[in-house]
Amino acid sequence: GAGVSQSPSNKVTEKGKDVELRCDPISGHTALYWYRQSLGQGLEFLIYFQGNSAPDKSGLPSDRFSAERTGGSVSTLTIQRTQQEDSAVYLCATTSGGYNEQFFGPGTRLTVL
């Protein structure tokens, strides 16, 4: 596609349930980032994938959070046993690498009841 797409656009779940968020990057972009943005806050880095290298998971807030990127393309962010504090917009961004700009998707708004 022409840009980064994310699905679902909105997700409402109950506390304790698992959720999966999907990111489809721009074709050919080797680097992929996940961020979290709580209401009225800046972006919080979560995880970074670059090609076939081991991902940088240093931003993941707890072991309930995990992400994978299959075949260097689509990425899924999984949150297990969701908590109310996980409610936020989850943004995915991709870049062709180096000093190039990041292209952001529209985000997934997660609400944990």
| Binding site residues, other proteins, CB under 8 A | 4, 31, 33, 35, 41-45, 48, 50, 56, 59, 91, 93, 97, 99, 101-107
Burial (CB < 10 A; 0-12, 13-18, 19+), residue 1, is exposed
Q: How far is the CB of 56 from other proteins (least distance, A)?
A: 4
Q: How far is the CB of 81 from other proteins (least distance, A)?
A: 27
Nearer to other proteins, 12 or 45 (CB): 45
Instruction: Tell me the CA distances in angstroms from 17 to 21, 28, 81, one per residue in order.
Output: 13, 34, 5
Q: With contact defined as beta carbons under 8 Å apart, do 90 and 110 qualify?
A: yes
The answer for residues whose C-beta is within 8 angstroms of residue 52's C-beta and 6 or more apart is 72
Nearer to other proteins, 1 or 42 (CB): 42
Nearer to other proteins, 55 or 80 (CB): 55
